[in-house]
Structure 1
Amino acid sequence: MRLVSIASGSSGNCIYVGTEHTHLLIDAGISAKRIECGLCELGIKGSELSGILITHEHSDHIGGLGVFSRKNEVPIYTTRETYEGIRSAKTVGELPEGLHREIFPDVDFSIGDMRISPFSIDHDAANPCAFRVGSGGSSAAVVTDLGNYSQYTINHLQGLDAVLLEANHDVHMLEAGPYPYYLKKRIMGNRGHLSNDSAGRLLGEVLHDKFKKALLGHLSKENNYADLAYETVRLEVTMGENAYRGTDFDIAVADRSRMSEIVYL
Structure 2
Amino acid sequence: MTMNDGLKVSVLASGSTGNCTYIETGQHKVLVDAGLSGKKIEGLMASIGKSLNDVDSLFVTHEHSDHRKAVGILARRYPQLNVYANKGTWDAMANRIGEVAADQKNLFAPDTTLSMGDLDVESFSVSHDAAEPQFYSFHHNGKSFVILTDTGMVSEHVEGTIKDADGYLLECNHDLEMLRQGSYSWPLKQRILSDKGHLSNEDSANVMMDVLGNHTKRIFLGHLSQENNIKTLAHLTVASMMANHDYGVGHDFQLLDTDPDKASGIVSL
> What's the TM-score bracket when you normalise by the shorter of the two chains?
over 0.9
Which of 39, 49, 60 is equivalent to 1:33? Answer: 39
Q: How does 1:218-233 map to 2 (within 5 A)?
A: 218-233=223-238
Q: 2-side partners of 1:258 and 1:88: how far apart?
A: 29
Provide runs of 4+ in structure 1 moved above 4 Å.
none
1:93 and 2:109 matched = no
The answer to whether the 8 Å contact 2:220/2:255 transfers is: yes
- 2:87 corresponds, among 59, 62, 80, to 80
1:246 and 2:249 matched: yes
Offset of 1:171 from its aligned partner?
0.7
**Is the Cα–Cα contact under 8 Å of residues 221 and 256 in structure 2 kept in the other structure?**
yes
From 114, 119, 138, the equivalent of 2:119 is: 114
Residues of 2 paired with 1:129 and 1:62: CA distance? 13
* Distance in 2, Cα, partners of 1:208 & 1:259: 26
- 1:204-237 CA distances to partner (integer Å, 9 max, x unpaired)? 1122223110000000000000000001111222
Q: Deviations over 1:181-204 (max 9, x none)?
A: 111000010000010000001011
Deviations 1:143-172, CA, capped at 9 Å, x for gaps: 000001121121111121000000000011
Q: Distance in 2 between matches of 1:247 and 1:71?
A: 41
- Per the normalisation by structure 1, the TM-score is 0.95
In structure 1, how many angstroms separate the alpha carbons of the residues matched to 2:99 and 2:230? 37
Question: Per-residue deviation at 1:95?
Answer: 2.1
Which deviates the most, 201-210 or 39-48?
Answer: 39-48
Q: How many residues align?
A: 261
Question: Quick check: 1:139 aligned with 2:140?
Answer: no
The worse-fitting range, judged by mean Cα deviation, of 122-131 and 65-74 is: 65-74
| Partner AA of 1:185 in structure 2 | Q
Letter paired with 1:103: F
Question: Structure 2 counterpart of 1:139, which letter?
Answer: S
Counterpart AA for 1:263:
V
What TM-score do the two structures reach when normalised by structure 2?
0.93
Name the residue aligned to 2:202.
197
- Give unpaired runs (5+ residues) of structure 1: none
Query: Structure 1 residue aligned with 2:10, among 1, 4, 7?
Result: 4
Q: What is the identity, as a one-letter code, of the residue corresponding to 1:262?
A: I
Aligned-partner Cα distance in 1 for 2:102–2:229 = 40
Q: CA deviation at 1:245?
A: 3.8
Distance of 2:141 and 2:47 partners within structure 1: 24
Secondary structure of 1:146's counterpart equals coil
- The whole-number CA distance in structure 1 between the counterparts of 2:215 and 2:113 is 24
| C-alpha distance in 1 between matches for 2:186 and 2:49 | 45
Aligned-partner residue type, residue 212 of structure 2: L
Task: Report the CA distance between 1:39 and its aligned residue.
Answer: 2.1
User: Given that residues 9 and 267 in structure 2 are in contact (C-alpha distance below 8 angstroms), is that contact kept between their aligned partners in structure 1?
Assistant: yes
The answer to whether residue 44 in structure 2 is matched with residue 44 in structure 1 is no
Q: Is the 8 A contact 2:47 2:263 kept in 1?
A: no
- Aligned-partner Cα distance in 2 for 1:34–1:144: 21
1:19, 1:41 → 2: CA distance?
A: 19
Determine what percentage of the aligned residue pairs are the same residue: 35
- Find the residue that maps to 1:88 and give its secondary structure: coil
Distance between the aligned counterparts of 2:156 and 2:244, measured in 1?
A: 20
Counterpart in the other structure of 2:72: 66
Contact persistence 2:48–2:265 (CA under 8 A): no
Q: How far apart are the structure 1 equivalents of 2:116 and 2:224?
A: 29
